[in-house]
Amino acid sequence: MSTSNGAKENSHNKARTSPYPGSKVQRSQVPNEKVGWFVEWQDYNPVEYTAVSVLAGPRWADPQISESNFSPKFNEKDGHVERKSQNGLYEIENGRPR
């Protein structure tokens, strides 16, 4: 079933469960009518979370995006990392892909 903005009632269920897997950190709650990427939500302020296993710095993980020496090039090949989506260009907002 679709809502008036085209979002499905049950879309992104896995990404909207809380807490984050293996942690006690609660996710920001997103109501169904706000799930769509193009829905304006000025007060949206998601929880900043990175799993401890990723913070440990495994080879496959990027540095934290807030690190001053890390400037990923979204929407293009970035060294050995492909940062292009197969679904089109990322919209970049505050230095992060939306």
The whole-angstrom separation of Cα 57 and Cα 26 is: 23
- Nearest-CA neighbor of 16 among 31, 38, 1, 36? 31
Predicted confidence at residue 10, as pLDDT, reads 61
Q: Letter for the amino acid at 18? A: S
pTM over cut 0.85: no
pLDDT digit string, tens, across residues 17-28: 899 999 999 999
Check residue 98 and give its pLDDT.
Answer: 79
How far is the C-alpha of 16 from the C-alpha of 31, rounded, in Å? Answer: 9
The 10s digit of each residue's pLDDT in 32-76 is: 899 888 899 999 988 889 999 999 999 999 999 889 999 999 999
pLDDT at 64: 92
